[in-house]
Chain A
């Protein structure tokens, strides 16, 4: 395809929107959990992987359609988030006061968890990529041809983003969340139940990631290792959009989706990873530290 054909292709635009909306859901969760707890959960993407496999098992084993199992999986992942907090994270955070070294160490902690999760999945399912067929008949709109599962995925993803955005906008939790992201010790003093905010953030975050996994499993093949590039993409989104800024996060996800889809189309698929990591490295180096206001005080 010539450059112009690429730029004006409705097909690619659709693909970009789809990629963007999946990234958006995954990033929203990470934004909230990282924003409130300042812990870099590099295992976040592995929840996407777990969601994908859960949908796969429910579909191939029990014949439950992914669009229905999405509900169960999302709730289960949300519960997982709450359990992780009560079981591990609460203690970790109480222990030391947020020095750079603790945060670096906690990253290693999540990295270790990620390795455990991925390789447990390998022992259960082997490393061979899996896939299943669902809603794979092709629909045509004008010049666009799209499989049903991709259409459904886009619809669900956009709905989820809107639901989360609406919840944060109109529910008082949204205000509490922003307060905790800004200064959690100050928020605590004015009466915000910070532990509650952490729990709900993790619940929404993990639930959203699980949902993204279900959607991905409908559309493409997946392996125990898809988590990591998801995490990287999510990080790019929150760094670009700004910590705790959910709306900007959606915008950033869109930019990343467009960049990736059109970039790959204009160059080649092998360059997808170069693009992703290139943007990742550049954003970390170039964007001022001030984007993540350092926590002062105890």
Chain B
């Protein structure tokens, strides 16, 4: 790892480790938010940046994790519930992965969206059938613990994305992104790799959802499966671009701060800006800011040579 990257991560780790001791609930809240979005976006990248299969349904793993924790509340130890949430999300990805990943391009995008919505409405119907409109949690751990778990998850997602990005598996994923048919002809087991990436991308969001259920102390399907979560993740990822763990940092920081400013008072303005960012980055900067910098630097070097 380059020195500059190592320094970056060390500094970030130090900042986030410090925050709970700052005494400011507000700062802790923002820190928690950033860690959460970082974990979600980096895990999303494991599938979508590396394979090019852009998922608009990432929230489904988050929601499933939330639901599991709420449903098993005080029936099983908390640490077990959180891990089980990750496993549940991974299992779901494993089961739907094969049929879903056979669909390509824009169809995959809307399929993942539709799938997340389907799970959401199924759960809503099931809850309505059981006469439950929302579920409340009492006696949830305090925010320092929640923060700590989220920090661990964010570190895990960073390690995961960076690890996959540098591995042979990651090279195979990127190859199939470049040309799926050629990759298969060269020996890359594309179906298995896609599904593995899908499953890997699901586990951490499942646990993040579990933790956030503890934070909000209540569960309501339309919120836990809110498509806005998927959309935020995509925009955070495309702002930074690239397929390493650094990419999401820019997008996460920017959007968390932006939503701090706008979300409570005027959510529609936040959403309009989000929409504009999506349009801007797709049309003008499809490689993201990081990608744009890298290309510029490479072109300058080529000119010198």
Contact = CB atoms under 8 A, between A and B. Distances in A.
A contacting B, Cβ–Cβ less than 8 Å: yes
Interface of A: 40, 42, 88, 92, 100-101, 103-109, 111-116, 118-120, 122-123, 127, 232, 235, 268, 270-271, 273-274, 277-278, 280-281, 284-285, 289
A55 B34 CA distance: 43
Contacts of B124: 270
B186 interface: no
Interface stretch (B139-147, B191-199, B252-260, B276-284): B276-284
Contact of B117 (A103, A105, A273): A273
Interface of B: 52, 54, 56, 99-100, 102-111, 114-115, 117-118, 121-122, 124-125, 128, 177, 231, 234, 238, 266, 268-269, 271-272, 274-279, 282-283, 286
SS class, residues of chain A in contact with chain B:
helix
Contact of A281 (B104, B118, B276): B118
A285 B272 contact: no
A42 B110 contact: yes
B278 A284 contact: no
Given A281-B111, A284-B110, A284-B111, A100 B104 contact: yes
A264 to B, nearest CB: 12
A83 B272 CA distance: 21
A113 B99 contact: no
Nearest to B238: A108
A100 B52 contact: yes
7 contacts: A40-B110, A100-B104, A119-B275, A122-B268, A123-B268, A270-B121, A284-B111
Contacts of A268: 125
Nearest to A42: B110
Contacts of A122: 268, 271
Given A42-B110, A277-B117, A109 B283 contact: yes
Given A101-B52, A270-B128, A92 B110 contact: no
Nearest to B278: A112
A112 B276 contact: yes
* The 7 A-B residue pairs with the shortest CB-CB distance in the complex, in nearest-first order: A112-B278, A100-B105, A115-B275, A116-B275, A277-B118, A119-B268, A112-B279
